[in-house]
Amino acid sequence: MLSTTSRTTLGREKQRGSTGRSDLYEVLDTGLFCHLGVVVDGYPMVVPTGYGRIGETLYLHGSTGARSLRAGDGTEVCVTVTHVDGIVLARSVFHHSVNYRSAIVYGRARLVTDEEERLAGLRALTEQLAPGQWDHARPPSRKELAATAVLALSLEEASVKIRRGGPSDEPEDYALPVWAGVLPLETSWGAPLPDPVLPEGIDVPVHISGRR
Ligand SMILES: Cc1cc2nc3c(=O)[nH]c(=O)nc-3n(C[C@H](O)[C@H](O)[C@H](O)COP(=O)(O)OP(=O)(O)OC[C@H]3O[C@@H](n4cnc5c(N)ncnc54)[C@H](O)[C@@H]3O)c2cc1C
């Protein structure tokens, strides 16, 4: 179960909240990118970035020069992951909505210095984008590792909110001649496009071609 703190208590539409850790993992594990919110030099900065999860820890990475990562070390950050599943079209403009699954994680991030944990975090990040790719591609060199910062964030304080279903209109509006319902949004992978300079004879690996 997700523990509810003063920060993660839903104010509005509480029935959309989920306290199941499995829902949190589902939202995180099926996402590709997150948004990292951090205060940099006194102002809020929200950056879209990659992530990966190992157990109860989220890993984020970037250049050692990235301001958001530098500012995040040892400070309170907020990470969100959002999936849009459909647009909810109501009879009135006011009641339009979105079907979604989203997670918000709060906590004090820490810069990972242990080499083993850094590699594990980077592996999780790569596998989040393309499962099977870490073992397929060349591992990072010492120089590349030295240029990469890895931040860790505990999943201890997190919330999940999920909206499903159709519109909810005002009783008198149901008689209006206005179409109402849900327009589902589906995201799918396309056919892999080989790099034009790829030498002949290198086939698309199954872990890539199989994602369609
Ligand atoms: C794709 C998308 C589009 C949305 N569009 C709108 C919109 O146009 N207008 C609008 O009012 N709302 C929208 N929402 C809902 C929005 O995210 C907030 O849940 C809602 O606005 C309540 O915000 P609040 O400031 O009152 O937060 P509160 O309910 O006061 O937040 C308290 C705590 O609840 C948790 N929480 C709140 N919202 C979420 C969430 N979405 N996911 C996970 N945890 C959450 C957090 O831990 C937060 O600290 C949208 C959500 C998504 C995912």
pLDDT tens string 13-63: 899 999 899 999 999 999 999 999 999 999 999 999 999 999 999 999 999
**What are the φ/ψ torsions at residue 28 (nearest 5 degrees)?**
-70, -45
Tell whether 125 is covered by a domain: yes
Q: Which of 4, 10, 26, 106 to mutate to test the pocket of ligand 1 (most atoms within 8 A of CB)?
A: 10
Percentage of the chain with pLDDT > 70? Answer: 100
Cβ of 10 closer than 6 Å to ligand 1, yes or no, is: yes
DSSP string, the chain: -PPP-TTTS--S-GGGEE--HHHHHHHHHT-SEEEEEEEETTEEEEEEEE-EEETTEEEEEEETT-HHHHHHTTSEEEEEEEEEEEEEE-SSGGG-EEEEEEEEEEEE-EE---HHHHHHHHHHHHHHHSTTHHHHSPPPPHHHHHTEEEEEEESSEEEEEEE-S-----GGGGGSS---EEEE-----------TTPPTT-PPPHHHHTT-
Tell whether ligand 1 has an atom less than 6 A from the beta carbon of residue 87: no
Q: Name the residue with the closest Cα to ligand 1, atom 34.
A: 10
Q: Would you say how long the chain is, in residues?
A: 212
> Rounded mean pLDDT of 4-19?
91
Cβ–Cβ < 8 Å for 109, 72: yes
Residue 7 lies in a domain: no
Q: What is the pLDDT of residue 1?
A: 86
CATH code of 70's domain = 2.30.110.10
CA dihedral 28→34→35→36, nearest 10 degrees, is 80
Q: Which structural domain, as residue segments, surrounds residue 203?
A: 14-169+187-209
- Asked if residue 70 is part of any domain, the answer here is yes
Could you tell me what percent of the chain has a pLDDT over 90?
Answer: 92
- Identify the residue whose C-alpha is closest to ligand 1 atom 50: 98
Tell me how far apart the alpha carbons of residues 10 and 159 are, in angstroms, rounded to a whole number: 8
In this structure, is residue 110 part of a structural domain?
yes
Query: Is pLDDT at 3 greater than 80 in this prediction?
Result: no
Does residue 79 belong to any structural domain of this protein? Answer: yes
Which two structure tokens, joined as six digits, stand for 59?
A: 């890993």
Task: With respect to residue 117, please indicate whether it lies within any of the assigned structural domains.
Answer: yes
Model pTM score: 0.96
Binding site membership of 12 for ligand 1 (Cβ less than 6 Å): yes
For the Cβ of 82 lying below 6 angstroms from any atom of ligand 1, the answer is: yes
- Domain count for the chain, please give it: 1
Q: For ligand 1, say whether the CB of 19 is within 6 Å of any of its atoms.
A: no
Ligand 1 centroid–CA 11 distance in Å is 9
In a domain, 105, yes or no: yes
Q: What is the pLDDT of residues 118-172, one digit of tens each?
A: 999 999 999 999 999 999 999 999 999 999 999 999 999 999 999 999 999 999 9
